[in-house]
Amino acid sequence: MGLTRYLGRRLLWFLGTLVVALLLNFFLPRLIPGNPVDSIVSNLARGGGVGGEDLKIIYENYNREFGLDKPIWQQFFIYLGQLAQGNLGTSFAQYPASVNTLVGQSLPWSIVLQVPAILIGWVVGNILGAMAAFRGGWFDRGAFVTSLFATSIPYYCLAILLLFIVGVQMGVLPIGGAYSFGLSPEFSAAFFGDAITYFWLPFWSLVIVFIGGQAVGMRSMAIYELGADYVNYGRGLGLTDNRITGYVFRNAMLPQITGLALSISGLVGGALVTELVFSYPGVGTLLFNAISTVDYPVIQAVTLIITLAVLLANFAVDIVNGLIDPRIRAARSGER
């Protein structure tokens, strides 16, 4: 009964947050100064050959085609209707390209870059933090200082440093893009071998910072748990170190699982900037170009995907925490 109530409450929170996110996702891009149609018509006027009455007709046609001549509330319900059908709309800046197509071309690059960084960074960071707490001595001091330094560096700063040192000065890896000029994405060993050389620099600029943050958090929690009364009591009873370590590790992991959702949201933001630094063709680059051209449908699509990723991560962590720790389940289901 407690678990069902807990899951129901978490689901309601998820749906409520999703509704608020959809509202913000639609209205916030429209607060950006400037009109996308003005930008398109201005570019046509600068190119010459079109002017006067023709520009006015083009302006009205674009407004009608993009639905910008309708009241804002009507545009919102049209947006919801399209979203329910899986249609993200048509790009203003790259008309008549479908936003689904643009996102479909960019999203795999971001997934390939971010998912390994999140998983590897979380696992390695927690193992490193736990080892530092248990072993102590020079290993602890070295791991702590290094991790603290790594997590203090902003993603974009480390990206620029790696780009300059490894890419420019040493010339070991390519400094921008996702694959060599002349190639096109395909499932072949030749393309994979080429793309992996472009992958390493943005990947390491993300995963090093992430490992540092996870290691610092895990070390602190493990040290706190090692000084707890139940550890001393267990030792007094003659429990083995391996058994005590298991208890400590399990308790120390709870806040780390909670922090994973927050870390994912931070890493997604960092990855967007990293993609810009390395000209990586992911959703970060797509979002940047869309903002610079006030391309509402593309901005809405990318921010919606990011929002959904963060919400789902938080929802999954809430469920896992509730299953692992009955105290959390009882507190959030209103039983205590």
Token pair of 246, please?
């298991």
CB 208 within 8 A of CB 120: no
Conformation bin of residue 48: beta by default, left when phi > 0, alpha when psi is -120 to 50:
left
In whole angstroms, give the CA distance from residue 293 to residue 24.
19
In whole angstroms, give the CA distance from residue 279 to residue 292.
16
Token pair of 251, please?
């308790």
Give the pLDDT confidence of 282-312 residue by residue, as tens digits: 888 888 888 877 788 888 888 888 888 888 8
Residue 241 has pLDDT above 60, yes or no: yes
Give the pLDDT confidence of 45-91 residue by residue, as tens digits: 666 666 667 777 777 777 777 777 788 888 888 888 888 888 888 88
**Residue matched to tokens 């090093």:** 208
Residue 1 has pLDDT above 60, yes or no: no
Token pair of 121, please?
């960074």
Model confidence band, residue 234 (pLDDT cutoffs 50, 70, 90): confident
Residue 259 has pLDDT above 80, yes or no: no
φ, ψ for residue 165, nearest 5 deg: -75, -55
Alpha helices in the chain (DSSP H): 2-27, 36-47, 53-66, 72-84, 99-135, 137-152, 155-162, 189-226, 229-236, 241-277, 283-292, 296-324, 326-332
Give the pLDDT confidence of 110-145 residue by residue, as tens digits: 888 888 888 898 889 888 888 888 888 888 888 888
**Residue matched to tokens 């083995």:** 240
CB 63 within 8 A of CB 95: no
Smallest CA-to-CA distance from 176 within 159, 192, 158, 155 is with 159
Token pair of 183, please?
């190639």
In whole angstroms, give the CA distance from residue 181 to residue 194.
10
- The amino acid at 10: R
Name residue 90's beta-bridge partners: 98
The model's pTM is: 0.78
Radius of gyration of the chain (CA): 25
Question: What is the full DSSP assignment across 24-82?
Answer: HHHHGGGGSSS-HHHHHHHHHHHHSS--THHHHHHHHHHHHHHTTTS-HHHHHHHHHHH
Token pair of 226, please?
């090692």
Share of the chain above pLDDT 90, in %: 1
Give the pLDDT confidence of 156-176 residue by residue, as tens digits: 888 888 888 988 888 888 888
Smallest CA-to-CA distance from 314 within 64, 3, 18, 2 is with 18
